[in-house]
Amino acid sequence: MAQHVEIRRYRSEDAGATLAVFLDAVTVTAAADYSPEQISAWARPQQRNSHAWNREMSDRNSYVALVDGAVTGFSDVTATGHIHMMFVSSRHARRGVASALLGRMETEAWTTGATALSADASITARPFFAHHGFVVVAEQIPAPAGVPMTNFHMVKDIHEPRGQG
C-alpha cells in the first residue's frame, strides 16, 4: 500500500535515524539474499557511530524520506548521477518510499547536468532498480571487511523531469 512520502534534504539531526534505517535494511531486508557473514561485513554495527555517519552523510548530496514525520529511508546522488546509497526501513519496504527517493534523485541529477543515473545495486535492490528502467552493465564482487559479496553496476539514461523546463 502506497503512503504519502515527504522528501527533504538530510540534516545533522537525521544521523541516528538514517543509521538505524541502514542497519535495519541491511540486517533484515537484505538478509534474504546474503549470508550472515556477508551481512555482518556489510553492516558492521560495532564499527559505526552517528558522529562519523553524520559526517559521511553531510559530505554527500543526501536526502531523507519521511512518512508521518518519521525517517523511513534515505538516498544521495552525485552531480554526475551516481547513487551511492539508497536504503528503506524494512517496515516501509514496497510502499513507495524508494520510488519517491529515486524520483527526487533523478530530478537532482538532471538539474546538475547528468544524463544518466548509476548505482551499485545489491541482489536485494536489483529488481527495484530494474523496474525503474536501470540495466545491469556489470556484475561485481566487492569485499567489504574482506568478505566477497555480489552486487550489480546498473545505469539508466535520464531525461528532463516531467513538469520542468
Helix (H) or strand (E) holding 59: helix 50-59
End-to-end CA distance of the chain: 32
Computed over its alpha carbons, how large is the radius of gyration of the chain?
15
Q: What is the mean pLDDT of residues 99-120?
A: 95
Q: What is the mean pLDDT of residues 132-144?
A: 95
pLDDT at 141 over 60: yes
pLDDT on residue 164: 46
Q: What is the mean pLDDT of residues 87-96?
A: 88
pLDDT on residue 19: 97
pLDDT on residue 162: 55
pLDDT on residue 131: 96
pLDDT on residue 161: 62
pLDDT tens string 20-65 = 999 999 999 999 999 999 999 999 988 888 999 999 999 999 999 9
Q: What is the mean pLDDT of residues 85-107?
A: 92
Q: How confident is the model at residue 159 (pLDDT cuts 50, 70, 90)?
A: confident
Burial classification of residue 18, based on how many CB atoms lie within 10 Å of its CB (0-12 exposed, 13-18 middle, 19 or more buried)? buried
Instruction: Tell me the three cell numbers of residue 96.
Output: 513507495
Query: How far are the Cα atoms of 105, 107, 108, 111, 160 from residue 164, in angstroms, in the given order?
Result: 15, 9, 12, 10, 7
